[in-house]
Amino acid sequence: MLGALHARRLYDDKKIEEAREKGIELEFHPDVKATFLSFLPLRTISRFWGFLTSVEYPIWLRPHVYNAWARAFHSNLEEAALPLEEYASLRHFFVRTLKEGCRPIDSDPCCLISPVDGTVLRFGELKEAGAMIEQVKGFSYSVSSLLGAKSFLPMTACENIQQESGGEDKSMGDETQKSWWRVSLASPKVRAISPESPMKGLFYCVIYLKPGDYHRIHSPVDWNVLVRRHFSGRLYPLNERAMRTIRNLYVENERVVLEGQWQEGYMAMAAIGATNIGSIELFVERTLHTNRPRKKLLHSEPPEERVYEPEGNGIMLKKGDEVGAFNMGSTVVLVFQAPVSSANERMPSDFKFCIERGDRIRMGEALGRWHDA
């Protein structure tokens, strides 16, 4: 099984790399196979896979299994915090911790770090009305759909959405406004914005984790997590082919969204599940269970939301703190505010990404920087 998976992955990666070397950007093209996936019981399959990966192996067999996995998916076993014999199951091995010092955290206070090991798929600034993120050339999805109708995105984005929407979208805006005030009252000190504050731009970054990557999710900055939202969606695969053939892939899939505030304004982090990776652990909320059997067959049920209000201040996280883990590989989307100047005159103090599309990045490395004005 590992050999077949590895051969298919090598073939797909080679085709993608050849296309990029020729300057060909992959475009969105729906196909019949993608439609067929919607009829498969992917959630049930993923729960069965979860059961298999939780089976404990005999101690003598463990090193052989994990070494085979590492060869197939290019995992670095030298970074594992424990000897291979101590990982009782494949699931335990998936979410392994690393040796101290393997992921140094960039200490620059004017720096936002990568929360995971992975490949940078997309990044940029959200300037257009409606705040759209490109899934692949020829198709985009809205940030509000990804984070939820009750998301408290910066009001500039919300106003643009309301101006271009009809009566139905207006009611959605009203719900967003209520959610904004509900959370604001829970933590008024965090949300207070000084009139002298510089302008804030809205940015995003999409990072894909391969099966061989380190699977824990860390905090990208010092921030205050105020809301957790769990969307019990589908579990489509998140590979390159799926991105090119399935509409609203990230919006359709099961995901856990954390929203809050950091020193530069709004911050949201979405952990998106996929086939065989429906289980997303959240260390700040151990009672959260994902990929549960559906009570309804409809995929449009509203998300489960929890407002964190210990002493009215939410949950404080430091840069590099562990937040959660995927039980294999998947995708993380960051949406955040950062300092910018006027659109006509960019200054050296503006936030700038220090990555390129397709870059391999490790947790703790800088995604972007800015300078104090």
Residues 68/189, Cβ–Cβ less than 8 Å:
no
Could you say which of 117, 151, 213, 215 is catalytic?
117
Q: Among 337, 311, 285, 304, which Cα is nearest to 188's?
A: 311
Assess whether 218 carries a catalytic annotation.
Answer: yes
Q: Residue 218: beta bridge partners?
A: 322
Assess whether 330 carries a catalytic annotation.
Answer: yes
Positive or negative, the CA dihedral 208, 213, 216, 218 is negative
Residues 301/188, Cβ–Cβ less than 8 Å:
no
Could you say which of 187, 218, 232, 350 is catalytic?
218
Tokens of 356: 């390129």
For residues 197 and 146, what is the distance between their CA atoms, to the nearest angstrom?
A: 28
Could you say which of 114, 187, 232, 330 is catalytic?
330
Beta-carbon-side half-sphere exposure of residue 32 (alpha carbons within 13 Å): 0
Tokens of 300: 């449009």
Helices (H), the chain: 2-21, 32-37, 42-53, 62-73, 90-94, 143-147, 155-163, 167-186, 188-191, 240-245, 249-252
Could you list the active site residues?
117, 218, 330
